[in-house]
Structures are given as structure tokens and as C-alpha cells.
Amino acid sequence: MSSQSLKLTILVCVAAVAVQIAAILVPVAVLPMFNMAVRPLVFAVLAAVVFALMGRDARPIPNAYSFTLMAVVTVVLFGITLLVTTFLLGYAINPMAHSFTSVRNNLWNFGVVVILGEFMRYKLIKGANRQTRTGVVIALTLALAITHMVAGRAFFVGVTEVSVESVFVTFIAPLFISVAASYFAVKGSFLSVIMVGFVYTMARHMLPFLPDVSPLVFSLIISGCLFVSLIICHFVTNNKSRTTRIREKRLARYAPKPVFGYAVTGAMIVVIVAFFVGTFPIYPIVVLTGSMEPVLMRGSLAFVERVQTEDVFDMVGEGYVIHFEDPFGTVFIHRVVGHWYNHHGDRYYITQGDAGEAQDPFPISQGNVRGIARASLPFFGYPYIFFQNIQNIFN
């Protein structure tokens, strides 16, 4: 059963992330139909597969009543916080739920997906054993958080500018909700998981009136309520005495450590860090602008093959996308559209971005060419852009 839970978790996570990526990439005209038909259908099929293969678990859940009660407290705390905030700051009409029709559509488009997703989260986490549970919890937490990032489309297509507010609203708040739901899936009953996951995720889709605050403040309210609730829940439901907790910590401290596993993990971390700092012949760079769209989207992670200066003449020709440095020290990644030679026979490249109509103002000598772009992964560079913007804010 535990092995089956791990395999199903991988299937669910891959499918959920694929559906979210598709929701970002589909044309705007198709998006309503995608949300209404494709997303619920995919999640319904996944939930049916999980239910058919995992079966019904009749094992009793320790402290199920306590965690259900704490889920109720969590929801009540959220409601009281919204009421107090609305009383102090006033209310505003929620454009996402301004009518009964929009609320009904949101319940179908997003609510069904939330319920099915929480059902799969609960079944898969409860079906995992001690060896696989940590991996299952982490994978489902991340995948289902990505699924509920409804603002992700506006973020990735450039409608929303990259800022601390947009990143928090798009990524951090859904992640907080998913972490809380996974916590209750590990400790409590299915009812507690549904209450936390559904109420916090669907609040912005169902409430016709919200406090008159910015999306960032609303997301901070959600995250703050969940954080406080989890702390309260941890201390209230922890029945172990202080002596027992100290004994368990000592046993864990002196337990034999899997040295080989730590060595492999450390080696993998070293290799990954070495790759990202550019030690290997192929190194990654983040595409910071849209000058090469649609080939290289803004926020993509491009993989560049390093080319030695003496090999540039033979390896780089017209049509290649190259990573280079202009005469002023600024680094670009543009396409070669032509070349010419000086009186010494050195080749100079004429470059241009695919999204622009004008060529770059300065020819690039072969000594300024760093490498050739060979492949790219969309969206993987956005964390770097986010932290760069934070650094710019403080600077």
C-alpha cells in the first residue's frame, strides 16, 4: 500500500503541475472553458484512480476529534480576523465574486478542484508509511500549492509586474494554505483537511465583500491566521510530557546516522551549486527581459554551452543564439543575424533580439562571446528575478 501511495503521489503531482502549466499557456479565449471542463475533469479522474487503488482505510485516527476541533478554531479565527479588519478599514466589492453567477462558477471551476485535491492529499498521505511519508507530504504540498496559484497566469505572462507583493500573493500564500492542509492530513481527519483547505483557498472566490485592503494584506491575513493556528494546534494537541519529548530528542541525537545517504546528498548539493556558479562546460543563465521572445521567454532558465575564444570562429555562425558581453560590459543573450571581418581577419558578429526589429548598436568581437544557448526551461528563473528585485529595493 505504501509503495502504491508513492507511485500515485508522483502521478498526481505531475498531472496537477501539468494542468497548472497548461492553464498558464492556453489562450485567453480558451481559459474559461479550460477552467470549467478540463481542470475538474482531470482532477475527477485522478481522484477516482486514487480512491479505486487506495481503497477505504478503516484504521482509527488518534486525536481525530481534537484536530477537527482545531480546524474549526482555525476557520473561526480567520472569520473573526476578516470581520475585525472589515470593521476597522471598511469593505470593498470582490470583483471575483460580485454576483451569484460568478460565485457559482467559482465553486465549480475552483471549488471542485480544491475538494478533489484535498481528498487525494488525505488519502495518499494516510496511505504512506514512515519511510515514504515525508516525501509524499512534501511533493503533495508543493504540487497542490501550485495548483491553487490562480494568479500565476497574470504573473507569468507579464500582466503583473514582478514585485514582493505579486510573488507573495501568487506563491507564498497558496503555499501556506497547502502546508496547513498537509499538516492536518498527517495529524487529523479528512473533515479537518477539507475545512482548512477549502475555506482558506475559496475565501477570495466566494465572499462578495472583502476588507478594503490590498491583495498583499489579504494574503498576509491568510498566512498569519494559518501560522498562529498551526502553533496553537501543535501545543494544544501535543499530549507528550516534557520529559518524554526530551528523551525522544536525545534518542534521535544519538541514533546512528546513515553516513552513505548523507554523503550522497552532500555530493549532489555540491554538484548542483557548482553547476549554477558556472563550473561546468554548460552553465545556466536567467533571461531577464523579453527581447528574445518567443524563443526565450522572460524568466526562463537558459543553458549555455561555454565556447573558448579560439573556437568561436568555427562554432558560432548566423542564426545561433549566443551569450555575450558588449563593449560596455553589459551581458546579453541575442541571436546572430550577420557578421563582418576587420583588417586583421577577426570576425565581428551582428546581433539582434527576436522580439525587436532593430539590430544591436555595437558589433560583438569573437573574444566577447561567452557561449551558445542550447536549451531553456520556462519560469525557472523567476526566483532569481524575485530576489534581484528585493535586492534592488533595499539598494
**CA pair distance 165, 264, nearest whole angstrom:** 38
> Looking at the domain assignment, is residue 366 inside a domain?
yes
pLDDT confidence bin for 276, thresholds 50/70/90: confident
Q: Of 211, 239, 267, at which residue does a domain stop?
A: 239
Whether residues 227 and 299 fall in one domain: no
Q: What pLDDT score was predicted for residue 260?
A: 54
Whether residues 93 and 216 fall in one domain: yes
Is the model's pLDDT at 349 over the cut of 90? Answer: yes
The per-residue pLDDT for range 313-325, each reduced to its tens digit, is 888 989 999 999 9
β-bridge partners, 325: 331
Whether residues 112 and 233 fall in one domain: yes
Place of cell 479565527: 77
> Looking at the domain assignment, is residue 171 inside a domain?
yes
pTM above 0.85, yes or no: no
Q: Name the nearest CA neighbour of 189 among 115, 110, 123, 116.
A: 123
> Looking at the domain assignment, is residue 128 inside a domain?
yes
> Looking at the domain assignment, is residue 262 inside a domain?
no
> Looking at the domain assignment, is residue 265 inside a domain?
no
Residue 49 and residue 8 in contact, taking contact as beta carbons nearer than 8 Å: yes
Q: Of 216, 239, 262, at which residue does a domain stop?
A: 239
Q: In the chain, pLDDT over 90 holds for what percent of residues?
A: 19
Q: What pLDDT score was predicted for residue 314?
A: 85
395 SS3 class = coil
β-bridge partners, 305: 282, 372
Q: What pLDDT score was predicted for residue 373?
A: 92
Whether residues 319 and 374 fall in one domain: yes
Whether residues 6 and 134 fall in one domain: yes
Whether residues 50 and 112 fall in one domain: yes
pLDDT confidence bin for 64, thresholds 50/70/90: confident
**CA pair distance 200, 211, nearest whole angstrom:** 15
> Looking at per-residue confidence, does 385 or 62 come out higher?
385
Question: Residue 310: which CATH number?
Answer: 2.10.109.10
Residue 197 and residue 118 in contact, taking contact as beta carbons nearer than 8 Å: yes
Q: What does the CA dihedral 298, 34, 195, 166 come to, rounded to 10 degrees?
A: 20
Whether residues 60 and 189 fall in one domain: yes
287 SS3 class = coil
Q: Name the nearest CA neighbour of 276 among 286, 289, 290.
A: 286
Buried b (16+ CB within 10 A) or exposed e, 75-101: bebbeebbeebbeeeebeebebbeeee
Whether residues 159 and 222 fall in one domain: yes
Whether residues 183 and 94 fall in one domain: yes
> Looking at the domain assignment, is residue 263 inside a domain?
no
> Looking at the domain assignment, is residue 275 inside a domain?
no
Quote the radius of gyration of the chain (alpha carbons, Å).
26
What are the start-end ranges of the H helices in 163-212? 164-167, 173-187, 190-206
Buried b (16+ CB within 10 A) or exposed e, 209-232: ebbebebbebbbbbbebbeebbee
Whether residues 231 and 335 fall in one domain: no
Residue 46 and residue 120 in contact, taking contact as beta carbons nearer than 8 Å: yes
Name the grid cell of 64. Answer: 481525530
Range of the domain at 132: 2-239
Whether residues 16 and 142 fall in one domain: yes
> Looking at the domain assignment, is residue 124 inside a domain?
yes
Based on the structure, what is the number of domains in the chain? Answer: 2
Name the grid cell of 13. Answer: 503531482
pLDDT confidence bin for 21, thresholds 50/70/90: confident
Whether residues 228 and 84 fall in one domain: yes
Residue 320 identity (one-letter amino acid): Y
**CA pair distance 40, 115, nearest whole angstrom:** 10
Q: Of 222, 239, 256, at which residue does a domain stop?
A: 239
Give the highest mean pLDDT range of 108-112, 332-336, 388-392. Answer: 332-336
